[in-house]
Each structure stands twice: as structure tokens, then as C-alpha cells.
């Protein structure tokens, strides 16, 4: 048994140990300067600087593994060319502004976290810079950038500025008011001309460090369309035809029944072209059998109105084909690029599920026939990634995505694949177009040979997806 004096000594030692541990805990918790048990200064944040890279994606059951369609003797060379092209794509599309940034807890630093945009090579004040620190004998902050220079005004006697006109700026003053006044006058100027890039600014005070984005963008000149006073000045009807002149003439007659003056553009790659004449009809003859998407490109390239309505050459306008309703939706929701409608009651909306996948293998893509949420204010419309072959589109948006002329026979979803992440798409059920019935009188046997090509066309398209879309697999 311990004596009374020994027990008292032991309790005293334990109490001292507990007190020291408590001080250490609370000191580290507040991380305040001048603490009793200081350690080597370090930044508060140990959070990760970057998001992890995408891993391998999973091909859904029933997917086509695209590398199986590449001949063995071509595969290695093709993969090398694809890898080079993919790196160039990333260079064009990646940005330092995509880096993951974290706000520090209880930081004394004040800085812009979003919306600071500068013109290239143009000096621009950095708004909101400030320091909110407790009283000290001296205050010192550092600002640094990598793609530009920093400047501020000439300091008063109680302040020191080092590095004005360089990429690292140091401001020190015994007066917090003076230091904040100099921070409020700091400007950033990019060093090189680039139309759309960015920089990251690092802002430091003692053990605190913050990083904030600087967007460097050349302002765009607006390109506006005069909507005019009626549907004829707002929408152009565009179609592509091949050999089916009987159906085309029925389509044009049905359009004229409801829209007597609207402009119609026809792209025609028939083997033996026939004349299609009439008021407000533009008939463009192409070289024979150039293909579906080449014709779409030609037709859409000639549209001068804000919107165009895409129709197949065997569709049929009815009293339910109200172009005005689709234009109303597009005008009410300016973010929309495409609004699909119904063909004989069928809208066929689909979603594109895309995983970027591992860099060397490529991504995984599958098409699912479903839609997303209703369009606000228009319960008859829902958001989707792709729609049926009857849609109203914003002309400039469709022209930016384009229709790949390599796809000659089998193509539709590919336009929406190329526009995924660029085109905002919806589908509305209250606008309906008819479809002409197939009869012995209007069937062209030669047309079927082009419309339903052999396996080689399908294999060509899958090889194209492997390289062009950097895909590992696809499921339609």
C-alpha cells in the first residue's frame, strides 16, 4: 500500500500531466499565433488539392465493345493517334479553374470566390481583398499568380510594397487600415492573350493560405436574331430527301395547307434529281448519295431564321402540327436549344448515360428511353437528352454541334451524342406531326438498299465512336 504522502505525490503528477495534455489539445484546436506550445508553423488546410482521376467505367449488359471492331493490324496505330488527339482535346477544354478549392475555417482573409472575370491583357481591380486580423505590431500579406502580374498603388510611409508589376506581391504595414487600403487597389493583368482561360491566385497571411480563381475571358460580341412579327420570320422548315419525291411533294403540300408562306429548305442527294419548285422553297442539289447527315448540314447551313423545324420527307402536317407552340416554349425558356415533339403520338425521348472512364480505354455510353423532370411552366414538356426526328432547334446552337457527314445512312442519336453537355433538350407532347403510310405506290425499291445498309455501315459507325468519341463501349 502507498503511504498518504506517496498518494498525494502521485495525484499531483497525474494532475500536471492532465493539465499539459489539456493545454496541448486546446492550443492545437484554436491554432492561434503565440500559443504556449508552438510547433513548426504550418498551413491549416491538409485537404486534397485535386479531384481523383476517373477510373474505368462499366459497360452495361448488351454493350458493344468497340475495340472488337478494329482490325488487329490497325489497332495499335489507331490507339496512338486517338491518344494524341485526346490529349489535344483536353488541352483545348481543360482549365486550371476546374481545380478543387476549399475555404478555410475561420480564415482572416477576405477574397472573391466566384465571378472575378478579367479581359486578357487588361488591368482589372481584384474586388473584395481584405485582412481581418487581431491587433499586431505589423501585418504582412502575400499575393501570387502564375499567368499574370499584380500591381497596387504607391504605399504611404508606414507601408512597404514589394513585387508590384510582378507575379508575386508582398504588402506589409504597421497599420491594418493602410494594408487593407492597398489591398483594395490591387489589380491583376494577364501576361498572354487567350480568349478563355484562367489563373489561380494564392493569398497568404502568416499560417493562413487561400486560393481563389481568376477567369480570363475575351467578351463575346452578341449575335442576335430579329424575330420579326410572325412565324414565317421566326422559323424555317428544313428536310433532307433521297429518291422519295412522291412523299416529299405530299409533305410540302401539307405544309402549305397550314403555313402558306413559311420558308422550306430541301437538301437533295437523289441519284437523278427532280425539280421541286414553289414560292419560298430552296431546293439544294447535292452530289448523289452523300448521305443523311451531310444533307442535314447543308440544309441547316442555309437557315437565316432564329429557329428551324426539322422534319423527315415522309412526314405529314396536320391541324395538331402547331409550330407556334414549340416556338413559344423556346422563347419562354431561352436556355433551351432543342424542343422535340410527337410523331403520330410517339416522342421517343431518351437519356444518354455517359461515364468518362479511364484515359487509355475511353468512356462508356448507353442510351435509355426515358426523360427527366417536367419543364417549369410547361407541364406537357419534359427535359431529355435526345428526341425524335421532329424538333425545333436554335439555329446557331445546332450549327455549333453540327451533323457528322461521315455518318451517311444510320444516324440520328449521334447529333445528340455530340451535343451532350452542350445542347439543352426538351420534348413536348401537345404538338404532333403525322407520318405518311407506306404504300406500293410510294415505295421506292432502290431506296431500301440505301436506307437499310449492310453490316459494314454499322461496323464503320462503331469504329468511328471508338476514335471520335473516345469510347470503350456503347449501347444503343
CATH topology of domain 231-475: Spore Coat Polysaccharide Biosynthesis Protein SpsA; Chain A (3.90.550)
What pLDDT, on the 0 to 100 scale, is given for residue 35? 34
CA distances from 20 to 37, 338, 348 (A): 10, 68, 71
Mean residue pLDDT across the chain:
88
Name the residue with higher pLDDT: 10 or 413. Answer: 413
Strand 391-394 and strand 307-310: the pairing is: antiparallel
> pTM surpassing 0.85?
no
For residues 474 and 441, what is the distance between their CA atoms, to the nearest angstrom?
38
Over residues 376-405, mean pLDDT? 96
pLDDT at 166 over 50: yes
Task: Report residue 475's pLDDT band, with 50, 70 and 90 as the boundaries.
Answer: very high
Contact 162, 182 (CB under 8 A): no
Task: Report residue 31's pLDDT band, with 50, 70 and 90 as the boundaries.
Answer: very low
Q: What is the pLDDT of residues 260-296, one digit of tens each?
A: 999 999 999 999 999 999 999 999 999 999 998 999 9
Q: What is the pLDDT of residues 207-241, one digit of tens each?
A: 999 999 999 999 999 989 998 889 999 999 999 99
Contact 398, 338 (CB under 8 A): yes
Over residues 150-154, mean pLDDT? 95
Q: What is the pLDDT of residues 38-87, one digit of tens each?
A: 333 444 445 555 555 678 999 999 999 999 999 999 999 999 999 999 99
Name the residue with higher pLDDT: 1 or 458. Answer: 458
H helices present in 306-394, as ranges: 323-332
Q: Which residue has the cell 452495361?
A: 60
> Under CATH, which architecture does the 102-217 domain have?
Sandwich (2.60)
For residues 196 and 214, what is the distance between their CA atoms, to the nearest angstrom?
11
Domain extents for the chain? 102-217, 231-475
Q: What does the longest C-alpha to C-alpha distance in the chain come to?
A: 119
Over residues 436-462, mean pLDDT? 75
Check for a shared fold between 102-217 and 231-475. Answer: no
From edge to edge, which strands make up the β-sheet containing 117-118? 117-118, 208-217, 196-205, 139-144, 168-173, 159-162
Task: Report residue 103's pLDDT band, with 50, 70 and 90 as the boundaries.
Answer: confident
Amino acid at each position: 500500500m502507498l503511504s498518504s504522502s506517496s498518494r498525494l505525490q502521485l495525484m499531483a503528477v497525474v494532475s500536471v500531466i492532465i493539465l499539459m495534455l489539456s493545454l496541448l489539445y486546446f492550443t492545437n484546436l484554436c491554432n492561434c499565433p503565440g500559443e504556449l506550445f508552438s510547433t513548426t508553423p504550418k498551413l491549416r488546410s491538409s485537404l486534397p488539392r485535386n479531384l481523383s482521376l476517373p477510373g474505368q467505367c462499366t459497360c452495361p449488359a448488351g454493350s458493344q465493345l468497340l475495340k472488337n471492331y478494329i482490325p488487329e493490324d490497325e489497332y495499335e496505330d489507331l490507339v496512338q493517334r486517338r491518344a494524341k488527339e485526346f490529349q489535344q482535346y483536353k488541352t483545348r477544354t481543360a482549365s486550371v479553374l476546374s481545380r478543387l478549392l476549399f475555404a478555410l475555417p475561420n480564415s482572416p482573409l477576405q477574397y472573391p470566390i466566384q465571378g472575378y472575370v478579367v479581359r486578357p491583357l487588361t488591368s482589372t481591380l481584384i474586388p473584395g481583398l481584405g485582412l481581418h486580423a487581431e491587433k499586431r505590431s505589423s501585418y504582412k500579406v502575400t499575393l501570387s499568380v502564375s499567368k499574370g502580374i499584380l500591381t497596387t498603388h504607391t504605399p504611404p510611409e508606414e507601408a512597404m510594397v514589394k513585387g508590384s508589376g510582378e507575379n508575386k506581391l508582398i504588402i506589409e504595414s504597421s497599420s491594418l487600415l493602410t494594408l487593407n487600403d492597398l489591398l483594395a487597389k490591387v489589380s491583376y493583368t494577364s501576361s498572354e492573350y487567350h480568349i478563355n482561360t484562367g489563373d489561380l491566385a494564392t493569398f497568404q497571411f502568416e499560417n493562413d493560405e487561400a486560393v481563389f480563381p481568376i477567369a480570363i475571358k475575351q467578351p463575346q460580341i452578341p449575335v442576335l436574331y430579329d424575330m420579326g412579327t410572325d412565324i414565317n420570320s421566326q422559323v424555317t422548315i428544313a428536310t433532307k430527301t433521297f429518291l422519295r419525291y412522291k412523299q416529299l411533294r405530299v409533305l410540302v403540300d401539307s405544309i402549305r395547307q397550314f403555313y402558306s408562306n413559311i420558308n422550306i429548305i430541301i437538301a437533295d442527294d437523289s441519284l437523278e434529281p427532280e425539280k421541286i419548285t414553289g414560292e419560298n422553297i430552296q431546293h439544294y442539289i447535292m452530289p448523289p448519295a452523300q448521305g443523311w447527315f451531310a444533307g442535314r448540314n447543308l440544309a441547316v447551313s442555309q437557315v437565316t431564321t432564329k429557329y428551324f423545324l426539322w422534319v423527315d420527307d415522309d412526314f405529314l402536317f396536320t391541324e395538331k402540327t402547331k409550330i407556334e407552340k414549340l416556338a413559344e416554349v423556346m422563347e419562354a425558356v431561352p436556355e433551351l436549344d432543342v424542343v422535340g415533339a410527337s410523331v403520330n403520338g410517339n416522342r421517343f425521348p431518351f437519356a444518354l448515360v455517359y461515364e468518362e472512364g479511364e484515359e487509355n480505354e475511353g468512356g462508356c455510353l448507353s442510351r435509355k428511353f426515358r426523360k427527366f423532370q417536367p419543364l417549369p411552366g410547361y407541364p406537357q414538356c419534359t427535359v431529355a437528352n435526345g428526341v425524335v426526328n421532329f424538333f425545333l432547334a436554335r439555329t446557331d446552337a445546332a450549327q455549333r454541334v453540327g451533323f457528322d457527314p461521315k455518318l451517311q445512312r444510320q444516324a440520328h442519336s449521334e447529333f445528340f451524342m455530340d451535343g451532350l453537355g452542350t445542347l439543352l433538350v426538351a420534348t413536348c407532347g401537345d404538338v404532333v406531326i403525322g407520318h405518311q403510310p407506306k404504300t406500293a405506290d410510294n415505295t421506292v425499291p432502290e431506296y431500301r438498299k440505301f436506307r437499310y445498309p449492310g453490316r459494314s455501315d454499322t461496323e464503320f459507325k462503331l469504329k468511328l465512336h471508338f476514335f471520335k468519341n473516345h469510347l470503350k463501349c456503347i449501347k444503343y
